[in-house]
Structure 1
Amino acid sequence: MGKNNLYRSYHPFKKSRPKHPLEDQRITMVQKLISDKNINSIINLSDTNESIPAEFKCYKNMLDNAHILFTNKGYNYDVFYYISGSDEFSNLIRRIINFILEPSNKTPFLIHCRIGTDRTGIIIAILAAFMGAEWKDIVIDYQKSNNLGIGEYRDEKLIEYAFKEMLGANFRDKNLEKLITDYFKNRLNLNNDKLQKLKDKLS
């Protein structure tokens, strides 16, 4: 995956751990990331279209220009981890990819949910696999959320279970990039032209 084209983060203005002493710092860091990296398009996995704080102008500007995808609150953790082989999940992946492919939605992209770990972690992992990342590197990136400072831990088995549901029990013994590409073709009905455009955009 190309450098500086895709990021994941904590929610940029909603507090998930309001009593935690580092919560304000986490929110500030995400807002600084959006500003410093000139984020142009956002995929919000936790909300419907919502009221944006007036002082957070860059997020509001992206919303006004249709550069934010809200996937709504209907997708819970079970969809991402335990029923990722379902049509419900594949339809979500299709929506996300079509949003990325939309020419008006420019890089860099930011994907976030509430804490940027579960829903966001799985989507980032799928895109990384499509771009040719090795499994060990995907797991390392996924588990970086364990350093968030909120006292929660995500085991490798969670992400492995999600990929098994999507790709089959023996996915680690096969070419992961090809498996994801075939999944995109067969489950999402994405043709070679769209897949190449997706690679080019994220490269």
Structure 2
Amino acid sequence: MLIFACCARNNPKADPILQGTITSYNEFGAAMLSFTEADMSAAGFTLGDVISISLDSRQLTMPYYDGFYTRNGEFLCVAYPTYPSICFTANNTGLPEEYIGLEDFPVTVKLEKKGGCIDVQKALSMKYTNVRTDYPQLSDAAFANARAVSAGRIGPGKLYRSSSPFSNEIGRSAYVSEFLAKEKVKSVLNLTDTQEKMQGYDMPAYSTTLWNSGNVILCPLKADPTADSYNDALIEALKELPSHPAPYLVHCTEGKDRTGYVCALLEGLCGASYEEIVADYLLTYYNYFDKTPQKDSDVCNALVSLRLNTCLMHYAGVSDESKLPEVNYSVAFSSYLFSHGMNQAQLNALIQALE
């Protein structure tokens, strides 16, 4: 419940303040607050502001955005379009343990710098719809963010990526299912669903066939490729993947973040260049937001730097972002997998399954 909104509406010179509580936590470890974007706006906050969140004596400074526009692990406050209220989290990692389990805990939001992050907000604020007719320029497959992955030595018809073929949360599952049937996909690496979730879906026909085949590997992940828990689970799933028949699909909900990171890893293992990995990653932003490097270079550069490059630097063991175009990803990513529990035979089987 919203406890207090400051008098900024009555006194334009007053710094915005909003007080409420943590009402719950979502599945990604983000704290859901008791106020909405409308409440923030009424109190005098705007997207792109730098704010502080106080919990007793603890105070954190962070940006206020309508999306997750920071590097992994950085704090932010988000008015995400599909969330019922404001969320406070650390991007992709979820909140640290000391901020978990604080339901009903009082929270105070204050303005620190008006418009302090407005450039990032303007560059990366992108919204998509779930209405097919809003995308007349796209094929059904592109609307579903479904496509073949062919970077490096990945063989034709071996690997695909998409939004979810099982959940219709974003209105695309039927289009994905039709695409998978056409491409005769046989196995799925599902990066978002648990067994319990899968049992609750009303799936399209071919998606049901895939699920009933026993060739769907469930590997629900947060979108933090630098986390040990992420990579422990992913590497176990990648060890299992070659035991299932090709062609393979990798998907999450949108086929954007988690799918993008896993496909980047697989592309690199199969000898893809930095340029190939980036090109495939950015196709998703054309499918959802009509963004291309040719006409939206600032946006695309920011997306790659904030999201994809963080993943590549972690897997490649590179600390200097400018060195990423020079990396031999096949060697670097293989070394990463070896150091995290995959042996040579398992790596060979994975690469052979994809080439």
Q: Is 1:28 aligned with 2:171?
A: no
Per mean C-alpha deviation after superposition, the further-off stretch among 175-184 and 133-142 is: 175-184
Letter in 2 for 1:162: C
Indicate the residue corresponding to 1:97 in structure 2: 238
Per mean C-alpha deviation after superposition, the further-off stretch among 124-133 and 169-178 is: 169-178
Indicate the residue corresponding to 2:6 in structure 1: none
Q: Is 1:161 aligned with 2:310?
A: yes
Indicate the residue corresponding to 1:201 in structure 2: 353
Q: Deviations over 1:85-121 (max 9, x none)?
A: x32122122122122122xx10001111111010001
SS at match of 1:107: coil
Contact 2:271 2:328 (C-alpha < 8 Å) held by counterparts? no
| Structural mapping, 1:108-123, within 5 Å | 108-123=247-262
TM-score w.r.t. length of structure 1: 0.82
Q: Give unpaired runs (5+ residues) of structure 1.
A: 18-22
Question: More helix by proportion, 1 or 2?
Answer: 1
CA distance in 2 between counterparts of 1:67 and 1:117 reads: 22
Question: More strand by proportion, 1 or 2?
Answer: 2
SS at match of 2:288: coil
Q: Deviations over 1:153-196 (max 9, x none)?
A: 76111100112223221462432210001111111x22222222
Match of 1:88 among 221, 229, 237: 229
Indicate the residue corresponding to 1:20 in structure 2: none
Question: Higher relative contact order at CA 8 Å, sep ≥6: structure 1 or structure 2?
Answer: 1
Letter in 2 for 1:95: E
Per mean C-alpha deviation after superposition, the further-off stretch among 170-179 and 107-116 is: 170-179
Letter in 1 for 2:319: A
Indicate the residue corresponding to 1:69 in structure 2: 217
Q: What fraction of aligned residue pairs are identical, expressed as a percent?
A: 21
Contact 2:161 2:249 (C-alpha < 8 Å) held by counterparts? yes
TM-score w.r.t. length of structure 2: 0.49
Letter in 1 for 2:318: G
CA distance in 2 between counterparts of 1:53 and 1:108 reads: 24
SS at match of 1:148: helix
Q: Give unpaired runs (5+ residues) of structure 2.
A: 1-153, 292-298
Aligned length: 185
Indicate the residue corresponding to 2:281 in structure 1: 142
Contact 2:177 2:207 (C-alpha < 8 Å) held by counterparts? no
Contact 1:4 1:108 (C-alpha < 8 Å) held by counterparts? yes
CA distance in 1 between counterparts of 2:239 and 2:271 reads: 20
Contact 1:12 1:30 (C-alpha < 8 Å) held by counterparts? yes
For residues 76 and 195 of structure 1, do their structure 2 counterparts lie closer, same or farther at Cα, with a shift above 3 Å needed? closer
Contact 1:10 1:113 (C-alpha < 8 Å) held by counterparts? yes
Give the aligned CA root-mean-square deviation in angstroms: 2.1
Contact 1:16 1:115 (C-alpha < 8 Å) held by counterparts? no
Q: Deviations over 1:122-166 (max 9, x none)?
A: 000000000000011100000000112357876111100112223
